[in-house]
Structure 1
Amino acid sequence: MEFMSSYYKEQYEFVKESREVLFGFCKKISEEDFVNQNSSFGRGGSIRNLLVHVANTYEYWIANLALNKNIIYAEYENFKNIQDVIILFNTIDDFMFKFISELDYFDNGISYKIKNINHSTKPLRLFSHVITHEYHHKGQILSLARHLEYIPVDTDIMR
């Protein structure tokens, strides 16, 4: 399992590097535009709301379900600027590294319930879900920024 743990760590470092590029870009966006809601984009339609939604997904799947934490989800209104969101993602990173360090405990899978139906999944599937979810919304954030007349940056892992 040591190999798998190092694989997960390395993969998550790629995610964090890409996220840092996005955060650097977001620092150039005015605070007004950062929270400006556009109904054409889901999850509240602002860059801030999309980022907090991504964090909520990590909170739900990794912190609460996999790690059995009982945390209260971040709320959009509590984050006024990108610095607030960066602090939130530092907490997300802590959850992810704890999850990765405890991979051995998930030999029987991770159990969860959705709509009163019991499910079980492997850690790799859960890990893949949260990071691909982040990339999906990262694309929306960059598209939203373009609508706000900013020139998006390349946040791909391969740049």
Structure 2
Amino acid sequence: MDPAFSQQYDLIRGARAALLRYCATLSPAHFVAPVAAFNHSSIRDLLVHVADCYQGWLGEVGLGRPLVRPLPAQVPDVAAVRALFASVDALVREFGQHFAGQWLITQHFVSARHPAPLRLSPLHLFTHVITHEFHHKGQALSMSRQLGYVPVDTDVIRT
């Protein structure tokens, strides 16, 4: 795996770990509570959705693997979310090894959700999933604030 790719993903994993440590301080009921302002999704639901995005874009589209969607009900708590992201970490390592040295090469990727093949680079796929994760990480923190918590710093560079 390319060192820069590996190091970048380590930074992302660190930010995710900070979020999951924070989520472990929430009451279990609040972790799975639907928040009206967020389409009645819960923090847990968003995290499962993020893992699903990695599996869809890197696994199904990038590596041509069949997509097995995790269901939020199968991920009842923060420990289960951590286990789900352990499988995401393994997928990212596999993706990184598969495309090592090819990050900028545009290729045709097939997606069941798109009628024609997508012309993208592996870097494009990876950038999509990590920016998607950070978007939803911010939403999860906003949801926790609406549930009465004070969010912590979960940025890549934390003070």
Considering the TM-score relative to the shorter chain, is it more than 0.5? yes
Report the alpha carbon displacement of residue 103 of structure 1 after superposing the two structures with TM. 1.1
5+ residue gaps, structure 2, are: none
Which of these residues, 15, 25, 35, is aligned with residue 38 of structure 1? Answer: 35
After superposition, the CA RMSD in angstroms is 1.6
Number of equivalences: 155
Percent of pairs identical after alignment?
Answer: 34
Q: Is 1:138 equivalent to 2:137 in the alignment? A: yes
After superposition, what is the alpha-carbon deviation per residue over 1:61-118, rounded to whole angstroms, capped at 9, x for unaligned? 0111111211311011111100001000000000001101111485452512443122
Which of these residues, 84, 96, 115, is aligned with residue 92 of structure 2? Answer: 96
Q: Which position in structure 1 is the counterpart of 2:50?
A: 54
Worse-superposed segment, 23-32 or 65-74: 65-74
5+ residue gaps, structure 1, are: none
Partners in 2 of 1:9 and 1:115 — Cα distance? 29
Given the two structures, how large is their TM-score scaled by the length of structure 1?
0.91
